[in-house]
């Protein structure tokens, strides 16, 4: 399997965490890519018309995207149980994945605003609104931290990657001191071997 990747993409890290959790990380061949929203990488577009990472090309040549689809495929290949099959556990896991993905979407949009948009076109209220999505999500997680398990599933792995990205790009948010219950969960969960291996990937 070939994976188009960018080393700082949290969505790529999410796929890697899943692969390592399933002990199939060594089946991935990395294809470095530069998936910018303005300068688009044509090498990715051949397989994914959106030109985004992660994009996975399976051994039989099928291209899969985005991270949610890739992770479910990896779970199938690895015969894992990271996606609960049915019932409340399934919906809770998928909802947590959506929440964490939404936090990442907001964080990346703010980064694009700060790094790529010309200053004359920047919109402060829009940036503040995106950051508030992260804030309200973290408050929700803090209030419901008792539901966060150490047994991995797709929602928890995605949340771990979202918190990793906040550490990488937004240390000023100081989420650990402000959301201690989430921090206590993360202190243990993010030491999982699968998470450590995902962080260790080099571009």
- Cα dihedral 195, 101, 202, 43, rounded to 10, equals 140
CATH of 87-192, picked from 1.20.140.10, 1.20.1050.10, 2.40.50.140, 3.40.50.20, is 1.20.1050.10
What value does the mean pLDDT take over residues 136-157? Answer: 98
Contact 182, 142 (CB under 8 A): yes
Sequence ranges of the chain with CATH classification 1.20.1050.10:
87-192
Model pLDDT for residues 159-179, shown as the tens digit of each residue: 999 999 999 999 999 999 999
For residue 203, the model assigns a pLDDT of 39
pLDDT digits (tens, 9 = 90+) for 26-75: 999 999 888 878 888 899 999 999 999 999 999 999 999 999 999 999 99
All CATH 3.40.30.10 domain ranges of the chain, comma separated, are 2-82
CA distance 15 to 54: 8
Class of domain 2-82: alpha beta
Extract the tokens encoding 7: 């080393």
Specify the DSSP class assigned to residue 64.
E
Q: What pLDDT score was predicted for residue 11?
A: 96
* Per-residue model confidence (pLDDT) at position 22: 98
pLDDT of residue 49: 95
State the DSSP code for 79.
T
Helix axes 10-21, 87-115, angle to 10 degrees: 150
pTM (two decimals): 0.94
Per-residue pLDDT reduced to its tens digit, 91-130: 999 999 999 999 999 999 999 988 888 888 889 999 999 9
| pLDDT reading at 201 higher than 80 | no
- Distances in Å between the Cα of 105 and the Cα atoms of 10, 11, 165, 192 are 10, 10, 11, 24
The b-or-e profile of 108-139 (16+ CB within 10 A means b, else e) is bbbeebeeeeeeeeeeeeebeebbebbbebbe
The pLDDT value recorded for residue 39 is: 84
Residues 6+ apart with CB under 8 A from 19: 25, 27, 28, 74, 78
Give the integer Cα–Cα distance in Å for 118 and 33.
24
């Amino acid at each position: 399997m070939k994976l188009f990747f960018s080393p700082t993409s949290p969505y790529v890290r999410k796929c890697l965490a899943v692969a390592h959790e399933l002990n199939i990380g060594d089946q991935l061949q990395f294809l470095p890519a530069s998936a910018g929203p303005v300068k688009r990488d044509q090498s990715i577009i051949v397989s994914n018309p959106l030109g985004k990472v992660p994009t996975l090309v399976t051994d039989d040549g099928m291209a899969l995207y985005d991270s949610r689809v890739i992770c479910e495929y990896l779970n199938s290949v690895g015969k894992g149980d990271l996606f609960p099959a049915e019932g409340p556990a399934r919906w809770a896991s998928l909802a947590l994945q959506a929440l964490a993905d939404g936090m990442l979407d907001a964080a990346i949009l703010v980064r694009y605003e700060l790094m790529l948009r010309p200053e004359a076109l920047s919109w402060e209220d829009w940036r503040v609104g995106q950051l508030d999505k992260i804030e309200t999500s973290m408050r929700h997680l803090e209030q419901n931290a008792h539901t966060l398990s150490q047994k991995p599933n797709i929602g928890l792995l995605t949340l771990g990657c979202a918190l990793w990205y906040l550490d990488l790009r937004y240390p000023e948010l100081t989420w650990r001191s402000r959301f201690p219950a989430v921090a206590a969960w993360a202190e243990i969960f993010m030491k999982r071997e699968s998470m450590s291996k995902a962080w260790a990937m080099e571009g």
